Amino acid sequence: MLVSTAILGICLLAAAENDGPVQFQAHRGGLKEAPENTLAAYRHAWAIPGAIPEVDVTTTLDGSMVCIHDDTPGRTTNAPAEFRKKRIAEIPLETLRSWDAGAWFDARFAGEKVPLLTEVFDEMKGRPERLAYLDLKDVSLAKLATLIADYGLRNQIIFVHGDPEMCKGLHVLFPGARTMTWISGKPERIRQRFAELAQTNFAGISQLQFHLPTLRTDPVIVYALDEAFLREAVAKTRAAGVELQLRPFDFDARSLDKLVKLGVRWFVADEPKRFAKALENAK
């Protein structure tokens, strides 16, 4: 089911073959443009037309749902040495929140903390145009379901999990939920896994993401997945009511224009601002 243009209020690019908005996931909020999984990153993404931040969710020792990608805090906070390799599940919330989660990226972001999921939801409540991908790491689904219901955000969440079976299970607690899973690896694996999911008619999946490896960038960007396969993937997913999402690790206006003309309407970007500019230039 496509997110309506009324909700998002945007239409960055439309191909003649199939008019429709291009939307894209800002990976961890846009990890190359802001400190990943911080409120600053999510706000950065929401300010860009068409961008939807991805929010990684896990749980602290005392049961608080927080937003951080890694199992440990060392890479994205200034946690002291004795905590850097400790699992988030072994760290109390108060301790985790005492560390800076922004200065490592740039001094401008000093003072950013690992966000509580409730803080993210506070940013979304009453703002139906603000959507979020929730990448579920270590969370109580029952507790999450209650929180989403309390905030009235059911229609603003897209759930993310690497296991398609988990996506099916999410529909038990979240009837009608939008779910996304991905296929990564070499082109052969992507083709094989896609064929397997197609056999199930993409059961339980609303969006299917392909990682899009690059063969070369000079003189033009050439992707490892050929256009014939991508065109087939667009047709098969669309026939099943599923949105195909691509994660190009290299992109420019020319390469994005080609992908959009194949019918792709969903993407993933580590640099959402640069991505949006490339889309603009592809018009």
In the residue annotation, 27 being an active-site residue is answered as: yes
Measured distance CA(270)–CA(247) in Å, rounded: 9
Residue 283 CA to its chain's centroid (Å): 24
Quote the tokens at residue 209: 């993401």
Phi and psi at residue 236, to the nearest 5°: -70, -40
Measured distance CA(69)–CA(160) in Å, rounded: 13
Task: Please identify which of the residues 27, 44, 161, 211 carries the catalytic annotation.
Answer: 27
Residue type, position 7, single letter = I
Residue 261 CA to its chain's centroid (Å): 22
Contact 69, 85 (CB under 8 A): no
Q: Which residues pair with 207 in a beta bridge?
A: 180, 243
Quote the tokens at residue 163: 């296991």
> Which one-letter DSSP state was computed for residue 49?
T
Contact 253, 281 (CB under 8 A): yes
Task: Please identify which of the residues 44, 69, 161, 211 carries the catalytic annotation.
Answer: 69
Residues with catalytic roles: 27, 69
